[in-house]
Structure 1
Amino acid sequence: MVFTPEQRITLHGFNNLTKSLSFNMYDICFTKTKEEREAYIEYIDEQYNADRLTKILKAVSDIIGAHVLNIAKQDYVPQGASVTLLVSEGPVVEVPNETFAESPGPLPDSVVMQLDKSHITVHTYPEYHPDEGISTFRADIDVSTCGEISPLKALNYLIHSFDTDIMTIDYKIRGFTRDISGHKLFVDHEISSIQNYIPEKVRDLYDMIDVNVYQENIFHTKCKLRDFDLNNYLFGYTKDTLSEEEQKEITARLKSEMDEIYYGKNIQ
């Protein structure tokens, strides 16, 4: 059973549904030499160190209306970082009708709802291609909440927090709660696609594929940046320093790498 914004649910006790959002992003860069590769990894580690990631997750916490109980963070050697926030019910404000609507969530300028017994985590994975031609940065973020609001309301902010070439987004509703008559509810809000929680201006930038299992309340969306500008994938120089042949070769390698990540299989 699903509900429109006008149909508020009267529950028996606390909303026990667990809603989990997994947001996985990739940034890709061509690194021709060992020095370029090391410089790119160093840049990524500086841009997305544990302190910066903590600020991002705190903003997510504010968006979904959480109170941070505990923060664990770590920068790893030689690269990468992790942050985990344990959160509980936060400040309660008036609940807007759009809480139940399929629409992009806010940027972090106000608290919008409450939740309890939840967590937010991020792990980063800078890595490089074996032949030193391509380096990638991956960040995995998980937002798991109990209560009325869906963590999908934080998706808009997460997308704007990273430079993203490819995104993989998973959303799953687990468990059940009960209304006042004892009837089990396995979902408490309308959802047909994760895409409806991504702003239209962002959707226009990406090719997207949905794989949804509606009867199991499982939703999956993959996104790949539509337009390709080689300058955005070179580290420390521009394409006008390369010959036409070099530009074609590098472009082909980058696009192949992106397609393999997007489709989840080796192409060559």
Structure 2
Amino acid sequence: MNLTPEQRIQLHGFNNLTKSLSFNMYDICYTKTKEEREAYIAYIDEQYNSDRLTSILNHVADIIGAHVLNTAKQDYVPQGASVTLLVSEGPVVEVPIDTFEETPGPLPSTVVMALDKSHITVHTYPEYHPSEGISTFRADIDVSTCGEISPLKALRYLIHSFDTDIMMIDYRVRGFTRDIYGNKLFIDHEINSIQNYIPKEQSKLYDMIDVNIYQENTFHTKCRLKQFDLNNYLFGYAKDSLSAGEQAEIERLLRREMDEIFYHITK
């Protein structure tokens, strides 16, 4: 929200608080054969190449009010991509949290964005079960900022940038700054849950659990997609091509994978 000068905390010098927003995101797919698995990996690699990653990170920089100074990008063989953006904090642009005007975009593959004393990184990890046909595509995203820039402003856009089955979201405010009287400030805004920064049209799609340590300014929310449609987890064909028994077995494997990731247990 926009604050008047009277509402802002008056600081002694620069705001030294570090605000870090971290994601673990999982997309799960059933790939029955080696050919299907290779086609799925090729699809991921094409959809999330360095050009598209550069576009998405430039948008993130706009949302949080950062200024991009330089860009380096690379597509790797046989798969994967990296993008590095050198960014300065620049003038702070307040983006009202309740408007959420950001548009969806593609999921970054491997990205590093360096701000003035801050950074944004994204790495992806495709992997598969050796025998059961489950492929899991994981993305780790970290947005760490200093000063008045808030990574929470980009939360809706980051969630909207891809379709995901499970999300683990962490937010932590580290370090301290000082007010004009020299008193230490360990946080400069109110927050009691990451869920408060997820719009209702997004949050209603997920079952969510919080684990928060308020005295440490550490907040954790994990989200699991409520709706299950087997067609969304098959690559290259529809469930109507499978027998009822095959559908039931594939659904069992997929749900077990989701349970193990969401609850951090192995069944």
- Residue type at the aligned position of 1:21: L
**2:131 equivalent in structure 1:** 131
State the 4+ residue runs in structure 1 displaced beyond 2 angstroms: 4-7, 69-86, 90-93, 103-106
Q: Tell me, what secondary structure is at the counterpart of 2:212?
A: coil
State the Cα distance separating 1:157 from its structure 2 match: 0.2
For residues 38 and 207 of structure 2, the distance between their equivalents in structure 1, rounded to whole angstroms, comes to 31
CA contact (8 A) 2:66 2:92 kept: no
Amino acid at match of 2:23: F
Residues 47-85 of structure 1 show CA distances to partners (whole Å, capped at 9, x for unaligned) of 112221221111111100101233343333332333333
- What is the aligned length? 254
Question: How big is each residue's C-alpha offset from its partner over 1:8-43, in whole Å with a ceiling of 9 and x where there is no partner?
Answer: 211111111010111221111100000100000100
Contact conserved, 1:66 with 1:88, CA < 8 A, in 2? yes
| 1:104–1:144 Cα change, 3 Å | farther
Gap change, CA 1:55 and 1:193, over 3 Å in 2: same
* Structure 1: 5+ residue stretches without partners: 110-114
Alignment correspondent of 1:73: 73
Number of the residue aligned with 1:21: 21
1-structure distance, mates of 2:51, 2:66: 19
Calculate the TM-score normalised by the size of structure 1. Answer: 0.88
Pair 1:224–1:104, CA change in 2 (3 A): farther
Which residue in the other structure is 2:43 paired with?
43
CA contact (8 A) 1:206 1:226 kept: yes
Paired with 1:88 and 1:187, the residues of 2 have a C-alpha distance of 22
What's the Cα RMSD here? 2.1
Amino acid at match of 2:67: H
CA contact (8 A) 1:61 1:68 kept: yes
Partner of 2:110: none
What are the superposed Cα offsets for residues 107-141 of structure 1, whole Å, 9 maximum, x if unpaired? 169xxxxx842211111112211115011111111
Tell me which residue corresponds to 1:112: none
**Mapping of 1:217-232 within 5 angstroms?**
217-232=217-232
Q: Which runs of 5+ in 2 are unaligned?
A: 105-114
Distance in 1, Cα, partners of 2:124 & 2:8: 39
Mean Cα displacement is larger for which, 127-136 or 172-181?
A: 127-136
Aligned to 1:259: 259
For 2:240, the equivalent position in structure 1 comes to 240
Deviates more, 1:129-138 or 1:186-195: 129-138
Change (3 A) 1:104 1:226: farther
Identity score, percent: 78
Question: Is 1:40–1:235's contact at 8 Å kept on the other side of the alignment?
Answer: yes
